[in-house]
Structure 1
Amino acid sequence: MTGQPDDASQIETLQDALDKATGDATPPARRRHGGRAGNVRGKGAVISQLPWTIPVNSDRPTEPLREEGVEAVHNGAMRVLEEIGIEFLHPEALDILKKAGCRVDGENVRMGRDFVMEMVEKAPSSFTITPRNPERTITIGGDHMVFGNVSSPPNCSDLDRGRRPGDRESYRDFIKMTQYFNCIHFAG
């Protein structure tokens, strides 16, 4: 280091002197604050991505299994629901399930196979969620595949700070990424 100013600072100093001498000094432009425009950090290159769309799955979900395999998975799930049960932590849910004929023991609920199949038959095969922007309507079910974030991971990681416990700043950045990328359809 020679103690001499670098070229950039010399140019700025010369430009300031020229502006003062000619009377062309203009006041600095006012900056906007807030909103997305106010976030100066991250004004980098735009990441190219495909347009926002809901992908459609042309494959059957259980195609890798033969019918016997699908039946074995179904029977295993029914056994868990009938014999082992599921823990429900919400008192109102426990009350509703008890009134519907399920066996409630504390917070553990066991459901009969017939009850489960009756409830599954009542569920729609698909439904839509319409946000404020109707062009971003999401269809859940059928052949549609939607992708969302997990919204509340206990830990986070990035290249600058590594792995660490999550905090508000990291969560804010996570939501910004969710809103930016067209391949993430919802936060939740």
Structure 2
Amino acid sequence: MAATARQRLLGLCLNDVGPVVEFHGLERIAEYAGIHPAVATIEEVMDRLPARSPGFVDVPDFRWAEEAVRHFVETPDGLNNPYDPAIGEALRAALTKPLADAWPLFDACAGLPLALIRAENSDILSQATATEMRRRRPDMLFAEVAKRGHAPFLDEPAAISLVHEWLTELEDYRPPAE
């Protein structure tokens, strides 16, 4: 949007994603995105989420239960995804082609208040990509969430603190006149 509809943005806060997305992480997500779970209850999903979520360490059971309820809906026909299954189809189709160079899109964010939350154990946003993002935007707010994979829940103290700092920055930001 910064490249094509900048006037619609006041700023951007990225949750464990950047201009380079690690292919193996996308492949992992493509294995389940938009596919109805092969289990019948929220409790079964809750039990399986830790195995499907590499990099998440020391997450209590109640937190996995919250995630299960957020990402699945019980229906008379079993569990369902509460989002468009075409998202998964589009992801799997995209993985058959080379990934586009998204650095120009990141660079189009120049001047906008920008924040990046990175999961310490992310298989989507590498440390190298986050480092390059920070080099290109030294003013970008940054936090790394310990003991999390893609994507942090955003209830972790580091994530909450960064989002609050970014929102404060947005309060003071005045976009340039067109």
TM-score (norm 2): 0.24
Of the two, which has the highest radius of gyration?
1
Higher helix share: 2
TM superposition score normalised by structure 1: 0.23
